[in-house]
Amino acid sequence: VTPCPPAPPELREQTLVLVKPDAVQRRLVGDVIGRFERRGFKLVAMKLLQVPELQEGRGYVCGYPCIIAPRCHQADRGLLDRHYQHLQQKPFYPALLAYMTSGPLVAMVWEGYNVVRSTRAMVGDTDSAQAAAGTIRGDLSMHVSRNVVHASDSVETALREIGFWFQRDELVAWESGDSQYTYGP
């Protein structure tokens, strides 16, 4: 197989997508991934993880017994504090933390032309009740507090957020052979 030439920089924009714990519980991971794949975006990183919950008197608690206390996790509460920095003062912030630590989530990095704006459009309005039919939230969810997915809201935010959730070597640089069919010559 002849290796494909590297894609130009405008095709290399990246964004962070999280399939949130409600969506994992509801077996929607494949549906969400399928939408980004079918659109033509390229998956460059993906992992399942649970951000442990901080419980009064018990410390960080997740689904598995902690034998390497106190920091056996690659993720912690601080990750969510950084990720949702802009919301820490909101009255719903404790509920948001409880939601995001309630079970495993899938973190992914998607790459492609205009990927940040396109994925936001595919995700739909923050409030699922307002989200248009055809969007992920509009098709798969009912309420702002269980809105299935996260997608970065700007190129700058995406760069920061990818750094919160992934180590550099967890991103895989690969050239997809279908580029001339998805983007043209």
Q: Contact residues for ligand GDP (CB under 6 A)?
A: 87, 92, 95-96, 126, 144-145, 147, 150, 153
Nearest distance from C-beta of residue 109 to Mg ion, angstroms: 16
| Cβ closest to ligand GDP, residue 141 vs residue 179 | 141
| Cβ closest to Mg ion, residue 139 vs residue 153 | 153
| CA dist., res. 21 & res. 147, Å (int) | 10
166 assigned ligand-binding residue: no
Provide the 3-class DSSP secondary structure of residue 88: coil
Print burial letters for 134-169: b (CB count within 10 Å at least 16), e (below 16): ebbbbbbbeebebbbbbbbbeeebbeebbebbbeee
137 assigned ligand-binding residue: yes
126 assigned ligand-binding residue: yes
Question: Which residue in the block uniquely carries the two structure tokens 């190129």?
Answer: 155
Provide the 3-class DSSP secondary structure of residue 90: coil
Annotated binding site: which residue ranges?
A: 20, 92, 120, 126, 137, 147
Residue ranges of the binding site for ATP: 20, 92, 120, 126, 137, 147
Catalytically annotated residues: 150
